[in-house]
Amino acid sequence: MPSYIFVKGHFHKDGCHFKQTNHATFRFEHCNVNRKREVNPRGMAYSFTVIVQLHPLFITKVDRAYNVRCFYMEENKEVDTELQVR
């Protein structure tokens, strides 16, 4: 089990680091997650780097860094409705 899982550059920020766990959930509005609107395909891309640190004090050569990219595609939805004007 890793000692820490954290977003690179945000170790000391609440919600951006987790101690002694195998699971971590990072919220987009925290931890300075990069956000970019994409045109083709249309949607939003979010990216950040997660560090998995095994040693409790030092980052070593066996630790890992993962570049995480999430993409949420925009959905085109046609909406029809009737409208009365008085």
Q: Is residue 20 part of a domain?
A: yes
Which amino acid is located at 16 in the chain? C
Residue 63 resides in a domain: yes
What pLDDT score does 61 carry? 93
Domain ranges, residue 12: 4-73
Question: What secondary structure letter does DSSP report for 16?
Answer: S
- Banded pLDDT at 72 (limits 50, 70, 90): very high
How many domains does the chain contain in total?
A: 1
Kindly state whether residue 81 falls inside one of the protein's structural domains.
no
Look at the block and give the residue holding tokens 């945000």: 10
* 15 is a domain residue: yes
Residues in CB range of 22: below 8 A, 6 or more apart: 1, 2
At residue 27 the predicted structure's pLDDT band, cuts being 50, 70 and 90, is: confident
**Average pLDDT value over all residues in the chain:** 90
- Residue 48: predicted pLDDT: 94
Model confidence at 52: pLDDT above 90: yes
